[in-house]
Amino acid sequence: QVRLEESGGGLVKPGGSLRLSCAASGFTFSDYYMGWIRQAPGKGLEWISYISTRGSPVYYADSVKGRFPISRDNAKNSLFLQMNNLRAEDTAIYYCARVPYSSSWSFELWGQGTLVTVSS
Amino acid sequence: QSALTQPASVSGSPGQSITISCTGTSSDLGGYNYVSWYQQRPGKAPKLLIHEVSNRPSGVSKRFSGSKSGNTASLTISGLQAEDEGDYYCSSYSAINTLVVFGGGTKLTVL
């Protein structure tokens, strides 16, 4: 079964760090670009990061650039988002998603999301 | 404020057709054919309905269709069904600032 499953969310204080993981199964993970998209409570979707098949190049939204490095481990079929210097406005559900092919800017397969809450 | 502009809500009766618009600029939606549409049911992850303006992924109903004219893209849902209720988001590649921009979302109510 083709699937993405996020983990690692939780409650963290402002300025703290959190590492999100996304486990892929049912497809050849190393063949696909991957991305992270977030959704603040009751709000719309916001793209935040994108990584190529081999881990470089990577791309970031201005809102997370320099704070949220994205990475992947193709041997472990896993995608990661290291979230540093967290702010209240980073509170959101974080989704990992698969990109259908390298020149696409859409997301064809999504995980169920993991909730990150930044609060003191 | 979202980079792409969508109506906050639309509604229709079962069997009818509705269209959701998505307006951008020549630096994003108008300049590239990388427009996508997503459906998000309450409490669920988004689902890709349309990519590259008008292409449906395998398994997506033919009742969903996409188009683009100038700086405005449209998603049309024909033969409206109760299960179509939810939020719909457009997105596009953007040549400035962030690479992928989303619309603010449109809530579809089936009357």
Please answer yes or no on whether B45 and A112 come within 8 Å at the CB atom: yes
A41, exposed or middle or buried, with CB in 10 Å at 0-12, 13-18, 19+? exposed
**What do you get for the CA distance between the two ends of chain A, in Å?**
39
Mutation target to probe the B interface, by most B beta carbons within 10 A, among A33, A46, A106 is: A106
Residue by residue, DSSP assigns B3-41 as: SBB--SEEEE-TT--EEEEEE--TTTTTT-S-EEEEEE-
**Residue A109 has what pLDDT?**
97
CA distance A83 to B71: 35
Mean pLDDT on A36-41: 98
- Mutate: best of B48, B54, B55, B107, partner A, most A CBs <10 A: B48
Kindly determine whether residue B47 and residue A110, on different chains, have CB atoms separated by under 8 Å: yes
Q: What is the pLDDT of residue B109?
A: 97
Looking at residue B97, its pLDDT comes to 73
Which among A59, A100, A111 has the least Cβ separation from residue B51? Answer: A100
Nearest of B110, B109, B83, B88 to residue B40 by alpha carbon? B88
The whole-number pLDDT of residue B91 equals: 97
Count Cβ–Cβ pairs < 8 Å, chain A vs chain B. 64
Structure tokens at A98: 């698969």
Q: Is A5 on the interface with B (CB under 8 A)?
A: no
Of the pLDDT bands very low, low, confident and very high (cuts 50, 70, 90), residue B1 is low
Q: What is the pLDDT of residue A102?
A: 76
pLDDT, tens only, B59-110: 999 999 999 999 999 999 999 999 999 999 999 999 987 899 999 999 999 9
The answer to whether the Cβ–Cβ distance between B48 and A104 falls below 8 Å is no
